[in-house]
Amino acid sequence: MTQDSLALQAIRRKLIGKSLTYDEIFAVMDAISHEKLSPILTTYFAASGYSKGFTNEEIYYLTKAMIETGDKLQFKGIVADKHSIGGVPGTRTTLLVIPIVASAGFLIPKSSSRAITTPGGTGDDMEVLAPVTFTKKQIYRIVEKTNACIVWGGSVDIAPADDDLIKVEEPLMFESFDKILVSIMAKKIAFGSNHIVIDLPYGSHMKVQRKVDAEHLKGKFEYLAQRFKVTLQVYLHETTQPAGRGVGPLLETREALKVLEQTPDRPLDLEEKGLTLAGMLLDLCLKDSPKKLQDQVKNEFGDGKKWAQYILSSGHALKKMREIIGAQGGNPAIISDDLHPGQY
Amino acid sequence: MTQDSLALQAIRRKLIGKSLTYDEIFAVMDAISHEKLSPILTTYFAASGYSKGFTNEEIYYLTKAMIETGDKLQFKGIVADKHSIGGVPGTRTTLLVIPIVASAGFLIPKSSSRAITTPGGTGDDMEVLAPVTFTKKQIYRIVEKTNACIVWGGSVDIAPADDDLIKVEEPLMFESFDKILVSIMAKKIAFGSNHIVIDLPYGSHMKVQRKVDAEHLKGKFEYLAQRFKVTLQVYLHETTQPAGRGVGPLLETREALKVLEQTPDRPLDLEEKGLTLAGMLLDLCLKDSPKKLQDQVKNEFGDGKKWAQYILSSGHALKKMREIIGAQGGNPAIISDDLHPGQY
């Protein structure tokens, strides 16, 4: 049987509720990623997961096949990342977590996911400060120079089947949790991350509304992490209000810069949230770090969050952010006051 | 809530396995029939029925909504029809059943379904003899003149949502029995039929392969007939070979004409099959006919099949077929020997 007819057969089998093998799922992802599957057939595949859902095994296969049918990045040693599952705008902690963790000495190459149901992604925020579209080679160079990058995920061919699936999911205005999971994990793993914090807020205005669903999703993230042999922690918390006061790339970026600059009028809730996530990620990275570093951090700061606090308040995070902006071709001297609403 | 958002909500609800109300299904059919639903969203709806299927109530709603969102034909009294659920070409009995039943005095306006998985429909066969595309008004005139017509279903706006659903079902190359059922019944009821014989062969080369599936489908046809208050009989039979020897519109039409002409070299298996179906349909119509006609047929012929046999062997069926060909603008003097392969 050819790959194409195997893909079609797999879609039909999944539609009537059968479980799929890795070969079948690979055939579907391969056909999608090489644009050999029409939008109609891609839609049937997207639809096939709603009723019975995918088994954990199938979710692993899906994620793996998405990674294998696209490009991959590879780094040495500990590679950190954090991902926030949003739902409301104004909850951007990326521009805080990245420079803090990079300043601590860990690699943290960040590919921002495309906005699906929210008006803008982190890539939009970073683009206020610097270009975000780079080749794989350029990304390696930026990360080598600064320990970090904040780039548009679409600029490299990472998990390309995911983008096509998102396209046919958009008109339905209805995401399944399994697809959020697969989409995030495929992009993280393909980007080479092996120490990951998932920020999973739940609440009536969030993407995940009920605690029980959030806990279920948390379990699936942990399952996938174990299958891919990566270290992952899910930060589950109830949220009623977005952090920060700004909505839209320009205001969000200005808020984040104010925190990095430690201005008196900075949004303290956003700072607190950024420190919590950065602290978690630092603790996660520390566990696999040399004993010497572990002891040093413990003695000097106490824990990851206090380490993050020091990096932020000492101005190291701001300095690192300026390095990253510069390496990505932006103006490293930019300050929050330069960003005026209506400028874009 | 607007009709459009009701349609979108209904699709999402069905995808996760909920049952839909008539209002929800009507909203979806209405959106599809007015081309307000994109092919992607139409595909999600088509896909939503595969896993759990539709309840009998939903199948009735679907059929009713398909009828109500399109044009309808109305006739007085008994209106006969037969439909063969094929799977293999060369099983065309329509060109025999229609003139026999029309010659017996019953109305039998026939809209041929579009070919889905078979290479050609009955409309293609009839088109060898006469035009098949007519307006509603022209169809009424042809039926008034001859008791019958054999027209292309697509020429009137009958159950238009069905056509759009078929379009997104084609790439999957996989029909659900529920959709075959709904599609056939919506078109029959919208065309005004109230006495219907469904020819349902099953076998390894047929659309329905297993007896258990055929019996299940038979039960659903009977359920819908009862809901729509029409008289319906399903002729369930195992088939291994197609009837007749010709494949393709020209050869199939020539075979049927040979039977009508009662030539010595006519295909006797096709004749037998046509007589069986015509006989069943005549028996069905007779049950709701005046006592006087019932007695007359009983005394003169015995039963419907023998009546059909008489109509065919006496040349009345051929005469009626020529009337229909003439009324539809074809050459009523055509004979089977006029049809040579390669002519089209």
10 Å CB burial of residue A167 (0-12, 13-18, 19+) is: middle
User: Which among A11, A41, A51 is the nearest to B16, CB-wise?
Assistant: A51
pLDDT of residue A206: 83
Amino acid at A261: E
pLDDT at A118: 46
Q: What is the pLDDT of residues B240-256, one digit of tens each?
A: 776 666 678 888 899 99
Exposure letters B195-206 (e unless 16+ CB within 10 A, then b): bbbbbbbbbeeb
Please tell me the distance in Å from B220's CA to the nearest CA on chain A.
19
How high is the pLDDT of residue B205?
Answer: 81
Contacts of A183 (CB under 8 A, 6+ apart): A113, A159, A162, A165, A166
Residues of B in contact with A172 (CB under 8 A): 8, 11-12, 15, 40-41, 44
A247 has a pLDDT exceeding 90: no
| Cα of B28 to nearest chain A Cα, Å | 13
> Across the interface, do B51 and A17 touch by the CB < 8 Å criterion?
yes
The three-class DSSP label of residue A133 is coil
Residues in A closer than 8 angstroms to B8, CB to CB, are 172-173
Indicate if the pLDDT at residue A117 is higher than 50: no
Is the pLDDT at A325 greater than 70? The verdict is: yes
Q: How far is B49 from chain A (nearest CA, A)?
A: 9
Predicted confidence (pLDDT) per residue in B169-223, tens digit: 888 877 778 888 999 999 999 999 999 999 999 998 888 889 999 999 999 999 9
Whether A50 shows a pLDDT value over 70: the answer reads yes
Give the type of residue at A153: G
Site from A50, A54, A176 to mutate, B interface, most B CB atoms within 10 angstroms: A50
Burial of B41 (0-12, 13-18, 19+ CB in 10 A): buried
Give the integer Cα–Cα distance in Å for B178 and B196: 18
Mean pLDDT, chain B, integer:
91
Pick the residue with more confidence: A324 or B53?
A324
A125/A75 Cα distance (integer angstroms): 25
Q: Which amino acid is at B155?
A: S
Q: Are strands B231-238 and A80-84 parallel, antiparallel or unpaired?
A: unpaired
pLDDT in the model for residue A116: 46
Tell me chain B's radius of gyration from C-alpha atoms: 20
B172 closest CB neighbour out of A17, A44, A46: A44
Give the lowest-confidence range in B116-120, B270-274, B284-288.
B116-120
Identity of the highest mean pLDDT range in A77-91, A118-132, B46-60? B46-60
The pLDDT tens digits for B63-104 are: 999 999 999 999 999 999 999 887 555 567 999 999 999 999
Count CB atoms within 10 A of the CB of residue B255: 27
Rounded mean pLDDT of B229-237?
97
Average pLDDT over residues A71-99: 87
Question: For A138-257, where are the E strands, in sequence order?
Answer: 148-152, 195-202, 231-238
Which of B5, B50, B52, B176 is the mutation pick for testing A, counting most A CBs within 10 A? B50
Q: Which residues contact B59 (CB under 8 A, 6 or more apart)?
A: B178, B181, B182, B220, B223, B224
Choice between A204 and A70, residue whose per-residue pLDDT is larger: A70
More confident residue, B86 or B301: B301
pLDDT above 50: residue B118: no
**Amino acid, res. A112:** S
Share of chain B above pLDDT 70, in %: 93
Nearest Cα neighbor of A169 from B180, B246, B339, B15 is B15
- Within 8 A of B173 by CB-CB distance, chain A residues are 8
Rounded to an integer, the average pLDDT of A323-333 is 97
The mean predicted confidence, pLDDT, of chain A is: 91
Q: For residues A1-10, give the mean pLDDT.
A: 85
Neighbours of B289 (CB within 10 A): 18
- Rg from Cα positions in chain A: 20
**Is B171 close to A39, i.e. CB distance below 8 A?**
no
Whether B15 sits inside 8 A of A44 (CB atoms) is: no
pLDDT for res A221 = 98
Whether residue A156 has pLDDT greater than 70: yes
pLDDT on residue B120? 59
Work out the average pLDDT over B323-332. 97
Q: Are A23 and A58 in contact (CB under 8 A)?
A: no
Q: Is 80 exceeded by the pLDDT of residue A302? A: yes
Which of A144-158, A313-327, B163-177 is least confident? B163-177
pLDDT at residue A120 tops 70: no
Q: How far apart are CA B82 and CA B97, in angstroms?
A: 8
Please state, in angstroms and rounded to a whole number, the distance separating the CA atoms of residues B111 and B185: 12
Tokens at B130, concatenated: 């006469």
Q: How confident is the model at residue B116 (pLDDT cuts 50, 70, 90)?
A: very low
User: Is A38 in Cβ contact with B171 (below 8 Å)?
Assistant: yes
More confident residue, A342 or B89: A342
Burial class (CB in 10 A: 0-12, 13-18, 19+), B18: middle
Q: What is the pLDDT of residue A312?
A: 98
Q: What's the rounded Cα separation, in Å, for the pair B279 and A216?
A: 61
Distance from CA of A52 to the nearest CA of B (A): 8
**Dist. CA A268–CA A309, nearest whole Å:** 12
- Mark yes or no for CB contact B48/A44 under 8 Å: no
* Entry pTM: 0.84
pLDDT at B147 over 90: yes
Query: Beta strand A231-238 with A195-202: parallel, antiparallel or unpaired?
Result: parallel
Q: Tell me if B15 and A47 make a contact (CB, 8 A cut-off).
A: yes
Please give the structure tokens belonging to residue A235: 């930060």
Count how many pairs of residues, chain A against chain B, have C-beta atoms within 8 Å.
Answer: 67
Least confident of A133-147, A199-213, B34-48: A199-213
Residue B250 phi, psi (nearest 5)? -65, -50
Q: Can you give the pLDDT at residue A166? A: 87
Mean pLDDT of A299-322: 98
- Residue-wise pLDDT tens digits, A163-198: 899 889 888 877 778 888 999 999 999 999 999 999
- Residues of B within 8 A of A48 (CB-CB) are 47, 50-51
Model confidence at B321, in pLDDT bands (50, 70, 90)?
very high
Residue B115, pLDDT above cutoff 80: no
Q: Enumerate the residues of chain A whose CB falls inside 8 A of the CB of residue B46.
A: 44
> What is the pLDDT averaged over residues A100-107?
98
> In chain A, what is the straight-line distance between the N-terminal and C-terminal CA atoms, in Å?
53
For chain A, the farthest-separated pair of C-alpha atoms sits apart, in whole angstroms, at 66
Rounded to an integer, the average pLDDT of A47-54 is: 86
Q: Tokens standing for A258?
A: 């104010």
The Cα of A28 is separated from the nearest Cα of chain B by a number of Å equal to 13
Which of B6, B20, B44 best tests the A interface by mutation, with the highest count of A CBs <10 A?
B44
Nearest to B47 among A17, A47, A174 (CB): A47
Q: Cα separations (Å) of A336 from A318, A343, B184, B255, B343?
A: 11, 13, 66, 85, 80
Q: What is the rounded CA–CA span in Å between residue A325 and residue B285?
A: 83
Position A327 scores a pLDDT of: 98
Chain B residues lying within 8 Å of A40, measured CB to CB: 39-40, 43, 168, 171-172
pLDDT for B342: 65
CA atoms within 13 A on the CB side of A322: 12
Chain B residues lying within 8 Å of A38, measured CB to CB? 171
User: For every residue of chain B, which 3-state class applies, written as one string?
Assistant: CCHHHHHHHHHHHHHCCCCCCHHHHHHHHHHHHCCCCCHHHHHHHHHHCCCCCCCHHHHHHHHHHHHHCCECCCCCCCEEEEEECCCCCCCCCHHHHHHHHHHCCCEEEEEECCCCCCCCCHHHHHHCCCCCCCCHHHHHHHHHHHCEEEEEHHHCCECHHHHHHHHHHHHHCCCCHHHHHHHHHHHHHHCCCCEEEEEEEECCCCCCCCHHHHHHHHHHHHHHHHHHCCEEEEEEEECCCCCCCCCCHHHHHHHHHHHHHCCCCCCHHHHHHHHHHHHHHHHHHHHCCCHHHHHHHHHHCCCHHHHHHHHHHCCHHHHHHHHHHHHCCCCCCCCHHHCCCCCC
Residues in chain A whose beta carbon is closer than 8 A to a beta carbon of chain B? Answer: 8, 11-12, 15-17, 38-41, 43-44, 46-48, 50-52, 168, 171-174
Q: Contact B51/A15, CB-based, under 8 Å?
A: yes
Cβ–Cβ below 8 Å for A44 and B39: no
Q: Do A48 and B43 touch (CB under 8 A)?
A: no
List, in sequence order, every residue forming a beta bridge with B79; answer none if it has no partner: B107
Å between B186 CA and nearest CA of chain A: 24
SS (H, E, C) B207-227: CCCCHHHHHHHHHHHHHHHHH
Residue partners of B337: CB distance under 8 A and separation at least 6: none
The pLDDT score that the predictor gives to residue B89 is 55
